[in-house]
A and B are shown apart, each in its own frame.
Chain A
């Protein structure tokens, strides 16, 4: 059974804090993605990675960075959290052009 896990389901952080969201997949997938989902908007791509130590900006990378030191793990970093980063964050992985497998999401609130 394929699995993508995210470190937290719910997270509350203060403005200015550094926040780490972790994602792990056990399917040996090359590709990993970070999205955010806000009411009335589709999933918007923040960053993605096609291989270890590789990263590409998505549509809304501002205020975020990522790290992929191992194939199975893709981390999203909010260097200095702001209230407009309150959102649902979803991680996904895929093998080349196949369908993406999603984690359960992390609902982040920045106060």
Chain B
């Protein structure tokens, strides 16, 4: 059974802090890694899709890196804002048509 792990499970930071969290996944036969943001009462929203080892993606204050050899991805948020409060989900895919395997999520709370 393929297992995707996210850490920490939850995180509480102050506005303006920078933060990061981890997604670990089995590296064998890896195809792609997806990051989603899920705000309360809204639909999960795609942030990044990453496929290549060493890939880095950026969207505003949020960025992500990927290491496919060792099987991990980091998501960074620079200068956290209250509107960044959400659950961040990662999911890995193991072939082109394969289903996504989701981690349990990291719940981020940013206090003003």
Give the CA-CA distance A55 to B46 in the complex, in Å.
Answer: 24
Name the prevailing secondary structure of the A interface residues: loop
Nearest Cβ in chain A — how far from B14, in angstroms? Answer: 25
* Bound complex: CA A102 to CA B37 (Å): 11
Residue A100 CB within 8 A of the other chain? yes
User: Smallest CB-CB separation from B2: which chain A residue?
Assistant: A59
**B104 beta carbon closer than 8 Å to chain A:** yes
Chain A window 33-60, contacts with chain B (Cβ cutoff 8 Å), 1 for yes, 0 for no: 1010000111111001010000000100
Say whether A62 faces chain B, with CB atoms less than 8 Å apart: no
Which chain A positions have C-beta within 8 A of B96?
A: 97
With a CB–CB cut-off of 8 A, which chain B residues contact A21?
none
* CB of B100 within 8 Å of the partner chain: yes
- Which residue of B41, B89, B97 is within 8 Å of A43 (Cβ)? B89
Chain B contacts of A1 at CB under 8 A? none
Nearest to A9 among chain B residues (CB) is: B41
List A contacts of B45 (CB < 8 A): 102
Contact A42 B46 (CB under 8 A): no
B contacts, CB < 8 Å to A: 4, 6, 9, 32, 34, 36, 41-46, 49, 89, 91, 93, 96-97, 99-105
- A interface vs B, CB < 8 Å? 4, 33, 35, 40-45, 48, 50, 58, 90, 96-105
Chosen A-B contacts, 20 in total, with CB atoms closer than 8 Å, are A33-B99, A42-B6, A42-B89, A42-B101, A42-B102, A43-B89, A43-B91, A43-B102, A44-B102, A45-B100, A90-B43, A90-B44, A97-B32, A97-B93, A99-B34, A100-B100, A102-B36, A102-B45, A104-B43, A105-B43
Q: Which 9 A-B pairs have the closest CB atoms?
A: A42-B102, A99-B46, A43-B102, A102-B43, A102-B44, A42-B104, A104-B43, A42-B103, A97-B96
